[in-house]
Amino acid sequence: MDNGNLCEQCAYQAYDEDYDDYVCSVQMDEDDCYRLLESRYRQCPYYRAGDEYRIVRSQM
C-alpha cells in the first residue's frame, strides 16, 4: 500500500494553517524523519487508522 494513501486516512493527519495543507502531527526524532524521507520504511510505522466518528460515539 502506498504511504500517500495511508496518510490521507491516518489519525495523525492534521491541518496546518501556516502551510495551508495537511501535515503529519507525529512527534518523531530526526533519525526517524530521515528514515521516512529516505524510504527505508515500506510503510509508515506511526500509521494509525483514523476514526472521525470516535468523538461523536463517546458523546452519545
Work out how many domains the chain is built from and give that number.
Answer: 1
Mean pLDDT of the chain: 78
pLDDT at 1 over 50: no
**Positive or negative, the Cα torsion across 27, 31, 34, 40?**
negative
Segments forming the whole domain that contains residue 41:
3-59
Looking at residue 32, its pLDDT comes to 83
Return the H-helix or E-strand segment holding 6.
Answer: helix 3-9
Spatial distance between the Cα atoms of 2 and 52, rounded to a whole number of angstroms: 21
The whole-number average pLDDT for the span 22-26 is: 90
For 13, 14, 16, 35, the CA distances from 19, given in Å and listed in that order, are: 13, 11, 6, 23
